[in-house]
């Protein structure tokens, strides 16, 4: 069945008729299940941004926000913030990397080099001297400059991928992020950045998986009023595996193995690799439109209502993809119909409480394309940016087991720790630290877009608990993630415990309510890396006693 705009309008009308402002404040597991069953149905065809299925999902969410009694917070009095997107795809055999050292070696996309498609130009040809720049990190507060003594202007920079050793996990996740590394290279005049998929990077995202991901369409936002470059794009970025790395280091003053060993002890020194390289990339580009969905619950306090806590969750998934066991629809039930379902039901339950501050509910597009929708909102918000005082994010509710703790990624960075602790204690739960810092979760969801604009933020997830039949709940979630994430099997057959889901949604509600009722707006902790980096002039709070 193909959706049309008429079909979408009917869905919207039916949802509005069925909806009504609810008096009950407790999250209802039946409502959560109903939202899940709609958003993850095959008829929405995986909710890819720019597709009819995504548009229907956006209309559904908007209708639910209206039925709750929330105010439109998009553009022109609607619930929608249009996001102008550029879609790009790699041409067949569209990426090559050649080594110009007399050997004539060339690495093809099929083998040892991959790249995302370009959002800037259809054909890209780069040639230049190759320079190794360690982990590509520049951070004065850490006394770290991997570019010290290097001239990279007009050259291609090679850096080690994965989190840098000797740096706190969340800080390392930001500094070692390819986007951050590419920005540092571009600032110094480099033509492009090529990231080596080291063993540490391989553990986080295998090169084979990276190859699969780069074959999918990519998107970024294009709005010259916000940035002259699509998405504020820095230098061109590609990735190579360790086979390519060994060849690239053949004429270097130190071997690839030596560079890895040096990096493991706190930072590899940079040097000229003794070769020139050529990089080719061919992409097909077209422009599409999608929309974030935004709704406002006005605050009850005449003074504090001006301040806004934004609640983010992504509505999109990856759409139609390669068939697995005959199924080509990537429904995205856990990722992230679950977060949207929880947010809708939390919003309904919260509306009766009327917190002191305003709460803006934001279901974003194109998260799966690189946090695109949330980045666009964070740079061009639909409310004055100075009103945004804090952010809470939900992405992937793995309600498979009876959890006893929750994780708040980023909670150490701001006073949002206090309302989360209050909410956790009120339900007899505990707050646990990041269970797997090496995975760099902190930079991988929509709260990170808010952080980069100086807004304190926390990403909430279910923590440890007892799995059905015994064993670790987190181990069960990790196994599910490995088997089903970004695959057609992330569908409505997943064994969700909706009573557990409802309990987590209640925690979510209490956290948002506590944050919106704080006597003082959320503040970064003095000395915190992210607060000092992205909001250097904002008022800071003293470090909290745990």
Among candidate residues 420, 419, 418, the one with its CA nearest the CA of residue 407: 420
Reduced to 3 states, what is the DSSP secondary structure of residue 138?
strand
pLDDT confidence of residue 135? 94
Cα separation, 344 vs 74, in Å, equals: 17
For residues 391 and 456, is the Cβ–Cβ distance under 8 A? yes
Could you tell me if 58 and 532 are in contact, meaning their C-beta atoms sit under 8 angstroms apart? Answer: no
Q: According to the model, what pLDDT value does residue 267 have?
A: 74
DSSP 472: B
pLDDT reported for residue 71: 98
CATH tag, 87-285 = 3.50.30.30
Fold of the 5-69+298-403+463-517 domain: Aminopeptidase (3.40.630)
| 509: DSSP letter | H
SS3 414: strand
N-to-C CA span, the chain? 55
- Which residues, 6+ apart, have CB-to-CB distance to 40 below 8 Å? 331, 332, 333, 337, 491, 492
What pLDDT score does 233 carry?
Answer: 66
pLDDT of residue 3: 43
The predicted structure's pLDDT at residue 92: 86
**Structure pTM?**
0.91
3-state helix, strand, coil split of the chain in percent (to 5) is 35, 25, 40
CA angle 54, 443, 324 (to 5 degrees): 45
Most distant CA atoms of the chain, gap in Å: 75
The Cα 458–Cα 407 span in angstroms is: 9
> Does the N-terminal peptide bond of residue 336 adopt cis geometry, omega within 30 degrees of 0?
yes
Q: Where in the chain is the domain with CATH 3.40.630.10?
A: 5-69+298-403+463-517
269 CB burial (10 A radius; 0-12, 13-18, 19+): middle
| pLDDT at res. 546 | 54
231 touches 371 (CB < 8 A): no
Please calculate the CA angle 144-374-37 and round it to the nearest 5 degrees: 130
Residues of the chain with pLDDT under 70: 1-24, 108-110, 233-235, 545-546
* pLDDT at residue 4, rounded to an integer: 44
Predicted pLDDT of residue 169: 86
Rounded CA-CA distance 465/453 in Å is 34
Rg (CA), the chain: 23
8 A C-beta contact, residue 337 and residue 394: no
**Residue 102: per-residue pLDDT:** 75
């Amino acid at each position: 069945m193909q959706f049309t705009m008429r079909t979408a309008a009917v869905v919207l009308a039916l949802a509005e008729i069925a909806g009504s402002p609810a008096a009950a404040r407790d999250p209802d597991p039946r409502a959560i299940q109903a939202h899940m069953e709609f958003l993850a149905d095959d008829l929405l065809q995986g909710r890819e941004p720019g597709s009819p299925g995504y548009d229907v999902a956006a209309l559904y969410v908007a209708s639910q926000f209206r039925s709750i009694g929330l105010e439109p917070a998009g553009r022109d009095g609607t619930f929608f913030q249009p996001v102008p997107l550029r879609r790009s795809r790699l041409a067949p055999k569209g990426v090559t990397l050649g080594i110009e050292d007399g050997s004539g070696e060339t690495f093809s996309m099929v083998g040892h080099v991959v790249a995302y498609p370009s959002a800037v130009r259809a054909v890209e040809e780069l040639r230049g001297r190759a320079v190794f720049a360690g982990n590509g990190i520049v951070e004065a507060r850490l006394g770290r400059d991997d570019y010290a003594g290097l001239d990279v202007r007009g050259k291609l920079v090679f850096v080690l991928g994965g989190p840098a050793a000797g740096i706190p996990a969340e800080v390392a996740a930001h500094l070692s992020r390819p986007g951050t590394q590419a920005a540092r290279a571009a600032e110094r005049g480099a033509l492009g950045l090529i990231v080596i998929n080291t063993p540490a990077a391989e553990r986080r995202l295998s090169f084979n998986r990276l190859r699969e991901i780069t074959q999918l369409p990519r998107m970024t936002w294009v709005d010259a009023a916000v940035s002259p470059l699509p998405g504020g794009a820095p230098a061109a970025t590609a990735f190579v595996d360790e086979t390519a790395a060994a060849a690239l280091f053949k004429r270097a003053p130190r071997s690839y193995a030596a560079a890895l060993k040096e990096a493991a002890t706190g930072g590899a020194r940079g040097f000229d690799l003794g070769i020139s390289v050529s990089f080719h990339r061919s992409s097909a580009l077209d422009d599409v439109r999608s929309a974030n969905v935004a709704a406002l619950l006005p605050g009850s306090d005449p003074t504090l209502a001006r301040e806004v806590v934004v609640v983010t969750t992504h509505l999109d998934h990856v759409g139609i993809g390669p068939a697995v066991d005959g199924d080509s629809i990537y429904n995205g039930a856990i990722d992230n119909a679950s977060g949207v379902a929880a947010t809708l039901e939390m919003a309904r339950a919260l509306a009766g409480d009327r917190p002191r501050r305003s709460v803006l509910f934001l279901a974003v597009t194109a998260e799966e394309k690189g946090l695109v929708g949330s980045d666009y909102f964070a740079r061009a918000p639909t409310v004055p940016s100075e009103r945004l005082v804090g952010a809470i994010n939900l992405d992937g509710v793995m309600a498979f087991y009876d959890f006893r703790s929750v994780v708040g990624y980023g909670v150490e960075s701001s006073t949002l720790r206090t309302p989360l602790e209050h909410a956790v204690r009120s339900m007899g739960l505990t707050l646990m630290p990041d269970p797997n810092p090496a995975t760099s979760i902190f930079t991988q969801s929509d709260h990170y877009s808010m952080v980069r604009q100086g807004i304190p933020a926390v990403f909430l997830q279910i923590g440890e608990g007892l799995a059905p039949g015994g064993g670790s709940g987190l181990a069960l979630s990790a196994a599910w993630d490995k088997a089903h994430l970004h695959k057609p099997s992330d569908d409505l057959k997943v064994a969700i415990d909706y009573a557990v889901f409802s309990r987590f949604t209640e925690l979510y509600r209490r956290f948002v309510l506590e944050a919106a009722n704080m006597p003082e707006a959320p503040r970064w902790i003095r000395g915190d890396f992210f607060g000092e980096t992205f909001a250097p002039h904002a008022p800071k709070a003293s470090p909290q006693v745990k």
